[in-house]
Amino acid sequence: MTGNGQSTRRVTRRALLDRWWLLPVAGTAGAFGYMGWYATRVTYGKRQPGEAQFQTAAPQHVADLAALRDAWSERTFTYAGRPCTVMRVPRAVPGGLTAGDVHLAAFSRVCTHLGCSVNLVRDPEVLAFAFNYRPPADEQHPQLGCRCHYSVFDPLRAGQAVFGKANGPLPRVRLEMRGDGVWATGIEPAPPLGG
Ligand code: FES
């Protein structure tokens, strides 16, 4: 009985020693598998903003139109407890506001990756060198960038994530014109972070 037990232990120990190389091989295969999955997810997993799904909130004056006179002029504000931005854009944006030849869009500034604040990046060279993102030649305009992990969101594509770890679009803010004032009246739900 005792002899058999010792023999079994010897065999088990020998078997383990014979297969020690499986550990680094499995670890390497797992690491490459994860990197492949992650690269695929951040490259092809960007979600379209779709039709705006606003939740009504208390109306709030966020800017005067005079402060948004030029394309890409911007005002930041806090709405429904979330940091937001409203900007004048050169063309109509789904979920934005168009009044005559004035096009406005507003977004939550909470990055959908892990919640850092996004800011408007106006210089394409900064996007290229700091964010490693160079948009196509016909899309060279300011973008909303997150400096935590360098995700980029396109205001003209309704806040869609176009580069980096974030996959979800920025929630949009519903706008209204009241006289010469720009008001926020609703905001899309905050998505779970990590997407
Ligand atoms: S928190 Fe914005 S990219 Fe990670």
- pLDDT average, residue stretch 167-188: 97
- In sequence order, what are the residues at sequence separation of 6 or more whose Cβ sits closer than 8 angstroms to the Cβ of residue 148? 111, 113, 114, 116
State pTM to two decimals.
Answer: 0.83
Residue of 182, 133, 130 lying closest to 154 (CA atoms): 133
The phi, psi pair for 127, rounded to 5°, reads: -60, -40
Residue ranges per domain, the chain? 2-44, 55-187
Q: Tell me the per-residue pLDDT of 100-132, one tens digit each, with 9 for 90 and over.
A: 999 999 999 999 999 999 999 999 999 999 999
Question: Percentage of residues in the chain with pLDDT exceeding 90?
Answer: 70
Strand partners for 146 = 118, 151
- Tokens standing for residue 169: 């679009």
pLDDT at 66 > cutoff 50: yes
Q: Which of 42, 110, 111 to mutate to test the pocket of ligand 1 (most atoms within 8 A of CB)?
A: 111
d(CA 133, CA 117): 18
d(CA 174, CA 106): 7
pLDDT of residue 10: 67
Number of C-beta neighbours around residue 133 at 10 A: 19
Q: Tell me the per-residue pLDDT of 71-99, one tens digit each, with 9 for 90 and over.
A: 999 999 999 999 999 999 999 999 999 99
pLDDT of residue 1: 46
Fold of 55-187: Rieske Iron-sulfur Protein (2.102.10)
The Å distance, Cα 26 to ligand 1 centre, comes to 30
